[in-house]
Amino acid sequence: MNATDEMNTVDKKNETAGSTPGTTDTGSDTDTAATATAPTPHGRLVVLDMAGTTVSDGGLVERAFERAAERLGVEPGTPDHAAKLRYVLDTMGESKISVFRHLFGTEELARRANSAFEEAYGELVDGGLVTPVPGARAAVEQLRADGRTVVLTTGFARVTQDAILDALGWQDLADLTLCPADAGGRGRPFPDMVLTAFLRTGAAADVRELVVAGDTAYDMLSGCRAGAGIVAGVLTGAHDRATLTRNGATHVLGSVAELPRLLAESA
């Protein structure tokens, strides 16, 4: 079973069962787990996704995929192109090389597609088409000022992650930045990047002190599998409140800008 099948299975099970136990939907931008109690302090280590969570890319993933797909002979306007693009959008948050392995079948084609995608995305980033999510930089700065360690993670390759950080002037914003290659090659929904942040920073003594925030179901699954005490979904990216909650979000926030206040209240 691949990652997407697994996510769909999780979604279907939860749709059958109804709403997720322990979460409350108040209709406001910030939902909290009504019955959640923390055995250890939350927020010593905060692991944040980039695209869709702290960074707005204005649909660059779709545009970069179209360029990459065309290089591999997938013609725009065809059913094959539409199906592949739909899969890319449905798996937002997953490691891009994993997505291309699924789409193109062989390692050689997957690597060619991934290289073309990263090149196209980098060109678009250099063109000034990425911006911070409103309040994201201030949120990271506040989290660090509060004594928390902050790590930025992505499903992109290191070269693309660095291009985004350079474009935004964020090279020193966080304590650490990680991509799948930094965690042994596996991206989300595996917990590897979160656990690498835990091991590499030494900022927390217990995984339950971890906070993970992201905009996709894969971010939620990754945080849950790592044992994070708070797994916060944000509504500025790919997936909606219901999808985030079904896949393990303990909280759903309007944006990452709300995270410092949530953690201050939690403490």
| Number of H-type helices and E-type strands within the chain | 11, 8
Alpha carbon distance 98, 37 (integer Å): 35
Query: Please, what is the angle between helix 217-226 and helix 192-201, to 10°?
Result: 50
Which range among 44-58, 114-128, 214-228, 237-251 shows the weakest confidence by mean pLDDT?
114-128
Residue 222 confidence (pLDDT): 96
Output phi, psi for 105, to 5 deg.
Answer: 85, -35
Residue 9 pLDDT > 70 = no
At position 258, the amino acid (one-letter code) is E
Alpha carbon distance 50, 179 (integer Å): 10
DSSP character for 24?
A: -
Residue 6 pLDDT > 70 = no
At position 205, the amino acid (one-letter code) is A
Number of Cβ within 10 Å of residue 227's Cβ equals 17
Residue 193 contacts residue 187 (beta carbons within 8 Å):
yes
Q: What is the pLDDT of residues 146-180, one digit of tens each?
A: 999 999 999 888 988 998 999 999 999 999 999 99
DSSP character for 20?
A: P
At position 200, the amino acid (one-letter code) is R
The most confident of the ranges 13-17, 164-168, 195-199 is 195-199
Which range among 4-8, 235-239, 249-253 shows the weakest confidence by mean pLDDT?
4-8
Output the pTM of the full model. 0.77
